[in-house]
Amino acid sequence: MKLQEMMNQISALGAQIKAASQALAKDSLDNTIPLSEIEKKQADIADMQTRMTALQASYDAVKGEKEGGLKTMENKEMTRSEIRKSNEYVRAFAYALKHGITKRNGLGNENVKILYDALTEGGGDPVGTDGGFLVPEDIDNQIRELKRELNPLAPLFTEESVTAQSGWRVIDTAPTSAMPSIDEMGTIANNSDQPAFAKVTYSLTKYGLRIPISNELLNDEVANLMGYLARWFAKKLVLTENSLLITALKTLDASALTTGSVTPDSAIKAILNKTLDPAISLRSVILTNQTGFDALDQLTDEMGRGLLQPDPTNATLFKTYGRRVVMVSDAQLPNTSNKPEFFIGDLKEFATLFRRNAMEIASTDIGGNAWATDSTEVRGLVRMCVSKFDASAAVRRQLTLS
């Protein structure tokens, strides 16, 4: 494809995205538009943005090759993130995948030197013998874009990047009583309400998968390869994060959301008003699955209004009692004994998702099943874990459906 043809396609896609975004903004203000239709249009826009990003990467790669082929970065003072955003890095990354170059066998190859520069920001030999090259920033951007379609839970929790395999953080206990009065010249009291500290530890676990890619695909343009990897790693990464976070939530003691004549809406109101600390309640969210969301959606108040109300700032989000209601699929958060789960609280205070660096990539065309299937196997690795900080910042409830 000629450069001018690619530029024309990029311009056309840009115009389509602008028009679709304007139409979506109008639909979001129109309460008669079904939520499913709005979500479909959002997905269409995200798909167009992904295709335009991929086409732009391909254009940059072809243009760069016409201007002198693969080049390495001359400025070694660039940060790791800046290096990974560059077009040279994208082309070198694709080159490494196509030719089966890994961190172990690529030393001295000028075509992939920039990949090593990203591992050690100031240049030099890479540290360690395991792992692989860092994923280009444009794939990271596409991962974040695709995550929104998979109901990622990580933004609801505290997220922290760490540089060590394990470690700990310190938490304290809040004071529970006021200071006692003291008579003039009296002895200052030393009561039992003293500061107490505890350690919250973390220990990262490695997660990964292998993706077989046909060598025919690898011979296509760079944009196709980047889009393919982004979709796969995005889905797997989000599902893994969600699984870890839901597992942490399920360590909470479960109890019935309703008892006797108590209705789900009054039970949720009581949790927000009385069960949770006021500071926790103000920042709380209500996390449930599709079954639980549907049960809430059937409820109305004394005025006949639905318990779930659209967020005035975003018609695709819903609130109840001023708190955001977050829904994930029944597949990710299955019902327990046919009872939908509800987690209510400030999840950022409840737990932290620890990550070490970005996802790492390595490839081979001779290991595993690659040789027999004429393919290249791409391996993605990431290290992360979840640690609980304040177990009283959230509660777990189960709703018995009538």
pLDDT tens per residue across span 110-124 = 888 888 888 876 554
Mean pLDDT of the chain: 81
pLDDT class of 357 with cuts at 50, 70, 90:
confident
What's the pLDDT at 77? Answer: 55
pLDDT at 64 over 70: no
pLDDT at 173 over 90: no
Q: Which residue has the higher pLDDT, 187 or 272?
A: 272
**Same structural domain, 130 and 155:** no
Domain assignment present for 174:
no
**Same structural domain, 134 and 214:** no
C-alpha to C-alpha distances, 100 to 53, 105, 363, 370, 402, nearest whole angstrom: 25, 9, 6, 11, 58
**Half-sphere exposure (CA, 13 Å, Cβ side) for 5?**
3
**Same structural domain, 64 and 132:** yes
Largest CA distance in the chain: 91
**Same structural domain, 391 and 261:** yes
**Same structural domain, 94 and 240:** no
d(CA 395, CA 252): 7
Domain assignment present for 105:
yes
**Same structural domain, 342 and 229:** yes
What's the pLDDT at 253? Answer: 96
* Burial of residue 3, with CB atoms counted within 10 A of its CB: 0-12 exposed, 13-18 middle, 19 or more buried: exposed
- Tokens for 297? 């959606």
**Same structural domain, 118 and 239:** no
Domain assignment present for 238:
yes
**Same structural domain, 32 and 87:** yes
Domain assignment present for 51:
yes
Question: pTM of this prediction?
Answer: 0.70
Helix (H, G, I), strand (E, B) or coil at 381: strand
**Same structural domain, 93 and 233:** no
In tens, the pLDDT along 363-375 reads 888 777 888 888 8
If one counts the domains in the chain, the total is 2
Least confident of 73-82, 115-124, 228-237: 73-82
d(CA 201, CA 106): 37
**Same structural domain, 213 and 314:** yes
Identify which of 346, 338, 238, 216 has the alpha carbon closest to the alpha carbon of residue 287: 346
C-alpha to C-alpha distances, 208 to 83, 118, 361, nearest whole angstrom: 24, 21, 10
**Same structural domain, 156 and 96:** no
Domain assignment present for 107:
yes
Domain assignment present for 260:
yes
d(CA 83, CA 309): 45
* Residue 260, domain extent: 151-162+207-402
In tens, the pLDDT along 252-306 reads 999 999 988 888 999 999 999 999 999 999 999 999 999 999 999 998 877 777 8
Q: Which residue has the higher pLDDT, 76 or 378?
A: 378
